[in-house]
Amino acid sequence: MCGISPGPPGKTVRVVAKDIRTYSRQAEELYEKAMQAGVMFFHYDSDKPPQEAIRFQDNYIDFFDHYLGSEVRIPSDLLVLVVGLLPADDDLAEQLKLAHSEDGFLMELHPKLGPAETATQGIFIAGASQGAKDVRESMAQALAAAGKAGALLARGSIEKEPLTAQVNLDLCIGCMRCVKVCPYHAIEQIGPVGKDGTVRIQEAACMGCGTCAAECNFDAIDMPYFTKSQILAQIDAALVEYPGEKCLVFTCNWCSYAGADLAGIEKRQYPASARIIRTMCSARFEEDFIARAFEKGAGAVLITGCRLTETGSDCHYNFANKLTWKRFEHWQRKFRRKGIDPERLQLRWISAAEGKEFASEMDEIVRRYKAEVGENIHVPV
């Protein structure tokens, strides 16, 4: 066993850690200054929990150090336990429907373009609510959040793009399905569920994702600039000639459409049979769009959107793409029963930075549906 000398009383600091990570230049400088000041760092066995790996008795600490390759005994007058920072179990975040990152902390709108903002307008984050930070970072983000909030409060009115959902009360039957799926709780129930009830859309809260319009089975809600009739007209126009050679690609404005744009900027080659139709969010896609595409003879339909994983989502509209995934599973089963091979209806998650992946996915789906319909079908490249 390796014994460490006690050192001057009250002046020797030793750190026993499972792991030490510095993630900025300033933090690395602090680590170096600590070592220069005489602070000693040890690495205990991380395969065991701390209460088993570190043994404290008779004013001594015993543990196995990986760097030294032996048991170490350190005399100690005071033992301070420091635990890692965990995200708070906050009911407020759940009530506000704020997105969480993979580690459980609140997710910012964009790490560079919106570090203090959230996907919900008017709600800002700062400090350890977003993740582990030092004082300097917390103060900088807090000042940014305060500045954003101050600029918002200083306005006499709020300007919004004219993309908010519109409800046709003559068609609304009061089923309230739109109320349940709205990611921002921008739809209010008026009256009871049923024909005597309707809904009201709060334009200040609506972000224009189109989830409600896709959920409504009675066409009582529509989205300006992305109306159902407009999208159907794009589908018809794309499939006027040689529909069996075409692959319709439904993209969301913020991720997969930007990924397609990046593929063009980077001059990535992918089959020219792709016909891209853009909406604000993948949750805007309706079953009727897919049905019209196959009715017109489309070779394949590819649905794309912001990345969705088991632990998180990059969706601009607060996890609205979870509904896309749920609906897609239903659509694939339904169209399979109608005789549409599953290879002709696919879903892919593509981020705005994945131009190469977009081109690769297009190559793959074209290859798949060519195999389905036969090589005699000519697909332009």
pLDDT tens profile 67-83: 778 888 888 877 777 77
Which of these ranges, 20-24, 101-105, 288-292, 295-299, has the smallest mean pLDDT?
Answer: 20-24
The ranges assigned to domains in the chain are: 2-75, 91-153, 165-224, 226-373
- pLDDT on residue 377: 45
Mean pLDDT of 97-115: 77
- pLDDT on residue 372: 62
Query: Above 90 in pLDDT, residue 91?
Result: no
Query: Above 70 in pLDDT, residue 183?
Result: yes
Distance CA 268, CA 233 (A): 28
The fold for domain 226-373 equals Rossmann fold (3.40.50)
- pLDDT on residue 87: 84
Mean pLDDT of 33-61: 79
The fold for domain 165-224 equals Alpha-Beta Plaits (3.30.70)
Distance CA 192, CA 322 (A): 28
Query: Above 90 in pLDDT, residue 278?
Result: yes
Q: Give this prediction's pTM.
A: 0.65
Reported as a single tens digit per residue, the pLDDT across 288-310 is 999 999 999 999 999 999 888 66
Reported as a single tens digit per residue, the pLDDT across 119-130 is 777 889 999 888
Judge whether 324 and 285 are in contact, CB under 8 Å.
yes
CA-to-CA dists, residue 379 to 300, 365, 373, angstroms: 12, 12, 11
User: What mean pLDDT, rounded, does the chain reach?
Assistant: 84
Judge whether 180 and 193 are in contact, CB under 8 Å.
no
